[in-house]
Structure 1
Amino acid sequence: MSIFSQRPALRWAVPGVAAVTFVGGGALVSTISANADAGLPPRTAAQLLVDVQQARLDGLSGTVVQRSDLGIPALPGTGGQGSADLASMVSGTHTLRVWYAGPDKARLALLGELGESDVILNGTDLWTWSSRDNTATHRTLSKDASAHKAPDATDIPKTPQQAADKALAALDPTTSVTTSGTATVAGRSAYELLLAPKDSRSLISQVRIAVDGVKHVPLRVQVFAKGAADPAFEVGFTAVDFSRPDAAQFAFNPPPGAKVTDATASTTEKMGMAQPNPDAATKATPANRPKVVGTGWTTVVVAKAPAGSTAKLDQGQLGALLKALPKVSGSWGSGRLLAGKLFSVVLTDDGRVAAGAVTPQVLYAALAAK
């Protein structure tokens, strides 16, 4: 099946000439071809985008290494490098094993120094497993829910495909798309697509996507901050096999002595993972509805923190971390600034949060906008 069958927003029309018109506008696509220095025939950026869109993937398995150097303080409770906690992937280097045999059969295992954590999707059965705690949680998904990606502890992409989907979804008139030659990833020859924001206010310099020269699926994604020679975020295969994994890889049986929780609707709600109410957006008032300022790579989201959340943030290790952040102020008010390599976040004293892949000055302007 097409890897984009569940992602209609990523479809675009590509004329076989110099320019490409994307959904909503005209992202600049260079006609310069990727060099054939890895034994691959030359391909233009437009041709590579069509290749990725039309790729068919029946199955794969492999080892993935993810590295994050976002330039932010260590977050309490995330475990850090070498941890098998999925939330730890916001920083450090982590190794994962992945298996895929269709949209309803997927498995991801985060390998830590003292154990591993697994997320296994098999039809409508979703299991999460921690070997360190010897605990497992089972959820039964609806047929519609099982067609979407499984929930996880963090929104950090865990595979090259997830990272590429996020990058390709951002294609619009604010993006320049070119090729940058070829590369070898996991022992396979690959083309490299280069996505770059046209707006200099973005903290992101470029996103490099290595596309397999035969299978046309992403093998590696690297995100570079402005002025940096090394990626601030990288996820890529170190070994990959495109044969379909055996069905046994997706059959999970809790080991003897494991504590198993069956997450019913009530327990799911208690964990904060309840399905969103489709009517919530219509009931939201202008005062509490998130405001979006800007477009493309310089989009800023300004939202009102949920009632009572500010007091909770002031407690414990997280509270100490927030209080250590530098104070900032302006015509928009005052607050604390979290400035990373790829994004900035301002938490205001009056309970607002502004975030984006932009400089702090862009956040201040968004907070001041009426």
Structure 2
Amino acid sequence: MSLFGSRPALRWLVPSAAAVVVIGGGAAAGTIVASADPSLPARSAAQLLVDVQNAHVDGLSGTIVQTADLGLPALPGLTAGNTDLAKMVTGNNSARVWYAGQDRMRVAAQSLLGETDVIRNGRDVWLWRSKDNTATHLTLPRDGQDKPKALPSGVPSTPQEAADAALAAIDPTTQVSTTGAAEVAGRDAYELVLAPRDTASLLGQVRLAIDAETHIPLRVDVYAKDATTPAVRVAFQQISFTTPDPQQFVFNPPAGAKVDTAKPHADADADHAKAPLGTKPPAAEVKGHEPTVVGKGWTSVVVAKLPDGWQKQAGEKQGGAAMVGAVLDSLPKVSGTWGSGRLLSSALFSALLTDDGRVLIGAVAPERLYQVAAG
């Protein structure tokens, strides 16, 4: 599979937004040569980047473990308990993955509440949750362009996904070097290090362990500035490059399962096009709600506008809205020439929610968010 250049074959397995927000920035390939273990030939940072871009495997399977400690303050409903969201930001997640080509993939994510599986077998895509024994079936268009983009919250990112986010934009904002050899999941690997040149970033470095034989990223570590342990780690705990048995991608709903059939996006777009004139599109499609990016590289800030009525929804007393409202109420109030709002700060990023409905997020100190909000 071609992991870079087009799109990584494992990209559809996980949400990319989280990885992009946490990692951010781009990279400029340096010329520092890896002081590799004697069993591995020396490779420069630029050579390792080319290796990853040209990586190809016919199949693999393995166990991925994701750990996170973002240094968040205690927030009700967010960093406490056994919720999927809590595990994403302060705990551990694991998943089994199988890959046998662009049209045969599977991930099985484990949690205390059960298992969530996403399976693609040709044009058929299944999403199954053991907690409530429900299954959703989607038939992809024949052109194969409509691929699943994300799994439910709580599913860990793959090392490939995290590496892709880190290397998505190559520019001079990043210093690239190597630290030599490492061992991940029992395999020899080179380690590539990305670090921001701008000291204003809260991120210290991102380390990618690249398999010496296949050039597949086996582990990605994200460090806060001046930290000695990673705030986020996504790594293979076990991996095999043997093509999985075709039966791994065949899904038969269990007895008693509730099965829903989902429309492909192409059909949904056609339905939207047929809507009567004057019909208001969903809030996410309304012009002016699209996020914008201020600045470049590791110190860039994402600015978004919340949909109308968000404050009323956050005030609801039940369900997810109640949890969001509780989190917002627990955040400290801040104000300045830009207005007033609530601030969330951690070791890796800061987030500002203004009372007029703007959200600003970046791997920067709060003062940078205030500056952008004022502008």
Q: Is the structural similarity TM-score above 0.5?
A: yes
Contact 2:37 2:181 in 1 (8 A): yes
Q: Distance in 1 between matches of 2:325 and 2:301?
A: 24
State the Cα RMSD in Å: 2.9
| Cα offsets for 1:90-147 (capped at 9, x unmatched) | 4311111111111221111112245211111222222111112211111222245556
What fraction of aligned residue pairs are identical, expressed as a percent?
55
Deviation (angstroms), 1:31: 2.3
Structure 2 counterpart SS, 1:64: strand
Contact 1:76 1:317 in 2 (8 A): yes
Q: Distance in 1 between matches of 2:143 and 2:154?
A: 21
Deviation (angstroms), 1:32: 2.4
Write the letter of the residue equivalent to 1:197: P
Deviation (angstroms), 1:284: 5.8
Name the structure 1 match of 2:39: 39
Deviation (angstroms), 1:292: 2.1
Structure 2 counterpart SS, 1:43: coil
| Cα offsets for 1:135-175 (capped at 9, x unmatched) | 11112222455564542224975211111110111331111
Name the structure 1 match of 2:12: none
> Higher RCO, 1 or 2 (CA under 8 Å, sep at least 6)?
2
Structure 2 counterpart SS, 1:32: coil
Write the letter of the residue equivalent to 1:118: D
In structure 2, do the counterparts of structure 1 residues 147 and 175 end up closer, same or farther at CA, with 3 Å as the change threshold? farther
Q: Distance in 2 between matches of 1:317 and 1:28?
A: 41
Name the structure 2 match of 1:347: 353
Contact 2:138 2:264 in 1 (8 A): no
For the pair 1:203 / 2:202, whether they are aligned, the reply is yes
Name the structure 2 match of 1:294: 295
1:356 to 343, 362, 365: 362
Name the structure 1 match of 2:11: none
In structure 2, do the counterparts of structure 1 residues 183 and 147 end up closer, same or farther at CA, with 3 Å as the change threshold? farther
Contact 1:170 1:297 in 2 (8 A): no
Name the structure 2 match of 1:220: 219
Q: Distance in 2 between matches of 1:35 and 1:312?
A: 55
- Which ranges in structure 2 are unaligned for 5 or more consecutive residues? 9-25, 274-280, 317-321
Name the structure 2 match of 1:4: 4
Contact 1:30 1:178 in 2 (8 A): yes
In structure 2, do the counterparts of structure 1 residues 214 and 221 end up closer, same or farther at CA, with 3 Å as the change threshold? same
Contact 2:118 2:127 in 1 (8 A): yes
TM-score (structure 1 length as normaliser): 0.83
| Cα offsets for 1:15-35 (capped at 9, x unmatched) | xxxxxxxxxxx9543322222
| Cα offsets for 1:311-364 (capped at 9, x unmatched) | 212332221111110111111111001112222111101111111121111111
For the pair 1:98 / 2:97, whether they are aligned, the reply is yes
Structure 2 counterpart SS, 1:48: helix
Contact 1:177 1:193 in 2 (8 A): yes
Alignment of 1:43-192 (within 5 A): 43-72=43-72, 73=74, 76=77, 88-113=87-112, 115-144=114-143, 146=145, 148-154=147-153, 158-192=157-191
> Which deviates the most, 171-180 or 112-121?
112-121
Contact 1:61 1:242 in 2 (8 A): yes
TM-score (structure 2 length as normaliser): 0.82
Name the structure 2 match of 1:11: none
Q: Distance in 2 between matches of 1:67 and 1:94?
A: 6
Q: Distance in 1 between matches of 2:7 and 2:53?
A: 10
Structure 2 counterpart SS, 1:319: helix
Structure 2 counterpart SS, 1:119: strand
Name the structure 1 match of 2:311: 310
Q: Distance in 2 between matches of 1:77 and 1:328?
A: 21
In structure 2, do the counterparts of structure 1 residues 100 and 172 end up closer, same or farther at CA, with 3 Å as the change threshold? same
For the pair 1:367 / 2:373, whether they are aligned, the reply is yes
Deviation (angstroms), 1:289: 4.5
Deviation (angstroms), 1:262: 1.5
In structure 2, do the counterparts of structure 1 residues 337 and 38 end up closer, same or farther at CA, with 3 Å as the change threshold? farther
Contact 2:104 2:120 in 1 (8 A): yes
Name the structure 2 match of 1:334: 340
In structure 2, do the counterparts of structure 1 residues 168 and 157 end up closer, same or farther at CA, with 3 Å as the change threshold? farther
| Cα offsets for 1:198-254 (capped at 9, x unmatched) | 111111110000000000010000000112111111110111001111111111111
Contact 1:121 1:150 in 2 (8 A): no
Contact 2:351 2:360 in 1 (8 A): yes
The count of aligned residue pairs is 340
- Which ranges in structure 1 are unaligned for 5 or more consecutive residues? 9-25
Contact 2:62 2:98 in 1 (8 A): yes
